[in-house]
Chain A
């Protein structure tokens, strides 16, 4: 009897071990495969900007720049909208509207990345192009709006990323808001707060979880591949201008991996994958830590938090 119990535990545990091994294996395999590039370039790989497969020179700075720039812009666009949606669904909307709205935002998350990309190429990019053409010359003097109006570029990428990130951030933020004790809101209303002030108090209480939700969206944006590849223009350069075609880490892997003829080229691409893996790992870890700590404070110090809020 005892032995059978042990077998069951070991048997199911082994399947769980597979999961753990995959995660460890990804880190190990990617480091092993990119050894050549790590040894040859060291840290200068991440500090130089020349990407010339023909002469065997590889610097990944433009890809880091493009990834961070497009993701941060996407976050700036998506965060207010995503939080607005979360607040509307969790706090404001009539009960009957809640389920349909949740369903619709989930639908936005379910649409495959490649479909976003297709739509991006044929619908969004032409719209962005005409927006760029219409930009007044005075604005064009600014570094943010310089360059020819091509349509493909950072702006299109950031917009499409923002649309894709909104459902993730808003659904996590919604859960976080739901975990805020009702006493928090009721207390604020009892003190004569308006709706905005009551929600403000709720948001303040939930701030760690909300930041976690935003970071989770950031992690998604960093790793998003197809849609970005199709609209960003795929040109390795570092520029502040929203109109210039740039490149991201995920996009360069997607585009050049099968073309990488020599070993060094392939290893350089795999090293980019390794770093992308590490960055998303850290961002996801931090966001989960924040959301988790929020869920715990919710249980632990309800009374304290209300005391603090009332004083503030």
Chain B
């Protein structure tokens, strides 16, 4: 074979490989979505949202307690993470060149890479062990720790996107830095910050590992923050590894609800970014 033909052949083989690898990744995605939707829809019913789990051996029941639990845990996490995340993001963008900003940035990236199970062990050490009690607060703490770096980094990036002229305008009118940030820059970046919150929520709503030994699990309906509480993810895990067909069915329903929550958060994030981009074009 002559050299040019060989080179061309090699080139088209390579292009084919790249296109194929996209397909290779899309096959599992399609399979996962197909199973979650088809099995989940079959298993989902009103009871799932309104009933608590039945005792072992009885079929039926639902995950009402787990749904409420997830909402509480995610809420607790957000209460803790949103202020810390946003304000440290403000510091990183306002004092972008400073050494401490670099330290925070580094800490955020490091924390982002820490395995969620390790965060769970840490939360166990500081919020379960001293009180000898699994609790919703401990679970919320673990989720909050996972949210902070995501919030901080997105806030930083989005504040840097706000045109410098807006900040300078406020400062020129005699506003202090705090006032310029809180009344001009942050509101301008608000859609972006909502994106950050949504992305962080999407990330933690599906977390299981940090909850296994912080909020633990609870078969009953509870809203007490100092008690173990159920969550969708831990409940799906418990049901998935159980030997009962009816529990497997409910695990799929739980998975469908989880995937829906995550997708809705991601879509909302996308919409908010689009609005921010539109603002910048203007």
Contacts and interface: CB of A to CB of B under 8 A. Distances in A.
B266 A195 contact: no
Nearest to B90: A12
A73 interface: no
Interface stretch (B25-33, B49-57, B59-67, B160-168): B25-33
Contacts of A224: 115
A222 interface: yes
Contact of B125 (A33, A226, A285): A33
A84 B21 contact: yes
Contacts of A13: 91, 95, 100
Interface stretch (A58-66, A133-141, A251-259): A251-259
A114 B258 contact: yes
B115 A276 contact: yes
Nearest to A87: B18
A112 B259 CA distance: 7
A118 interface: yes
Interface string B255-270: 1001100110010000
A4 B17 CA distance: 60
Interface residues of B, number: 85
A273 interface: yes
A50 interface: no
B240 A230 contact: yes
Given A105-B25, A254-B209, A258-B212, A114 B91 contact: no
Contact of B206 (A20, A112, A277): A112
A123 B206 contact: no
Nearest to A10: B91
B176 A288 contact: no
B46 interface: no
Contacts of A197: 7, 11
A253 B118 CA distance: 9
Contacts of A273: 117-118, 121
Interface residues of A, number: 85
Given A15-B87, A116-B32, A223-B115, A108 B259 contact: no
Contacts of B13: 196
Chain A at the B interface: SS class: helix
B116 interface: yes
A111 B32 CA distance: 9
Interface in A1-38: 1, 4-5, 7-9, 11-13, 15-20, 22-23, 25-26, 29-30, 32-33
A30 B121 CA distance: 8
Nearest to A9: B95
Interface stretch (B71-79, B103-111, B189-197, B218-226): B103-111
Contacts of A276: 115, 117-118
A277 B115 contact: yes
Contacts of A163: 25, 28
Contact of A115 (B116, B121, B259): B259
A11 B258 CA distance: 37
Interface in B3-55: 7-8, 10-11, 13-15, 17-22, 24-26, 28-29, 31-32, 35-36
A147 B104 CA distance: 49
A11 B35 CA distance: 49
A250 B209 contact: yes
A184 interface: no
Contacts of B157: none
B58 to A, nearest CB: 22
Interface in A98-133: 101, 104-108, 110-119, 121-123
11 contacts: A15-B84, A15-B87, A19-B111, A84-B21, A108-B29, A114-B258, A223-B117, A224-B115, A270-B125, A281-B113, A284-B110
Interface of B: 7-8, 10-11, 13-15, 17-22, 24-26, 28-29, 31-32, 35-36, 83-84, 87-88, 90-92, 94-95, 100-101, 103-104, 107-111, 113-122, 124-126, 129, 145, 148-149, 152, 176-178, 181, 202, 205-209, 212-213, 216, 233, 236-237, 240-241, 248, 251-252, 255, 258-259, 262-263, 266
Given A22-B107, A281-B110, 20 more contacts: A15-B84, A17-B104, A19-B148, A20-B103, A26-B118, A30-B125, A88-B18, A101-B22, A105-B25, A107-B266, A108-B25, A111-B32, A113-B206, A114-B208, A115-B259, A122-B240, A280-B113, A281-B114, A284-B110, A288-B109
**Which 10 residue pairs across A and B have the least CB separation, nearest first?**
A223-B115, A112-B206, A84-B21, A284-B113, A194-B11, A15-B87, A16-B88, A196-B11, A16-B104, A12-B91
